[in-house]
Chain A
Amino acid sequence: AQSVTQPDIHITVSEGASLELRCNYSYGATPYLFWYVQSPGQGLQLLLKYFSGDTLVQGIKGFEAEFKRSQSSFNLRKPSVHWSDAAEYFCAVGGYNFNKFYFGSGTKLNVKP
């Protein structure tokens, strides 16, 4: 069965520091992977997606993610975090043989001044 695990519930980083949010998925075929960001009380905004090709994907707001098939991972990174990045981040997996997304439980990012 498909599933997504985000092992870190909360992460705190200092402004300007680098960030990596972990995402592991379970899916037997080629996954389609997504990262969304949710600010408090808001909807989900798509940060980036991986369908195929280059395993390093660039997204909006300076984010990138790397797909590693051998580790079933799709970790999100940013070299220098800004205070406005404080939000909750969700990883999701989709695929051709099903018509829904499976979401992880989210990682809340707090940014220290």
Chain B
Amino acid sequence: NAGVMQNPRHLVRRRGQEARLRCSPMKGHSHVYWYRQLPEEGLKFMVYLQKENIIDESGMPKERFSAEFPKEGPSILRIQQVVRGDSAAYFCASSSTSGSGADTQYFGPGTRLTVL
């Protein structure tokens, strides 16, 4: 059973470009979470999605960031007009049941975004 897949693993963008990060949850998991890890810091929650629904986006910056989890295909975290402060590791996690904080979340390998 494959784990959580994320691609690309590394992404380099120039300021002002768009970054698209993809996440395929574990088989049978319908809950996806995105976290951001800034250098030398822990993970910070960004957004929680179920298929075709954003459930909680309280950790997502109000501008330039968006996320989706379509009926078919991976979840996408999109960052428009990237700035140097967006440089970070972005982790996706998935869980199988209710999507509450009581569920074990399984993490992907992350996408390391570098903004030049």
Contact = CB atoms under 8 A, between A and B. Distances in A.
Nearest to A100: B45
Interface string A22-49: 0000000000101010000111111001
Contact of B100 (A43, A49, A95): A95
A105 B41 contact: yes
B44 A103 contact: yes
A100 B104 contact: no
Contacts of B25: none
B49 to A, nearest CB: 10
A99 interface: yes
B104 A99 contact: no
Interface size class of A (residues with CB under 8 A): 20 to 34
Given A32-B101, A94-B102, A94-B103, A104 B55 contact: no
B48 interface: yes
Q: Give me the 9 closest cross-chain CB pairs, A-B, nearest first.
A: A94-B101, A43-B109, A100-B45, A103-B42, A44-B107, A105-B42, A103-B43, A95-B101, A32-B102
Interface of B: 4, 6, 33, 35, 41-45, 48, 55-56, 59, 91, 93, 99-110, 112
Interface of A: 4, 6, 32, 34, 36, 41-46, 49, 51, 90, 92-106
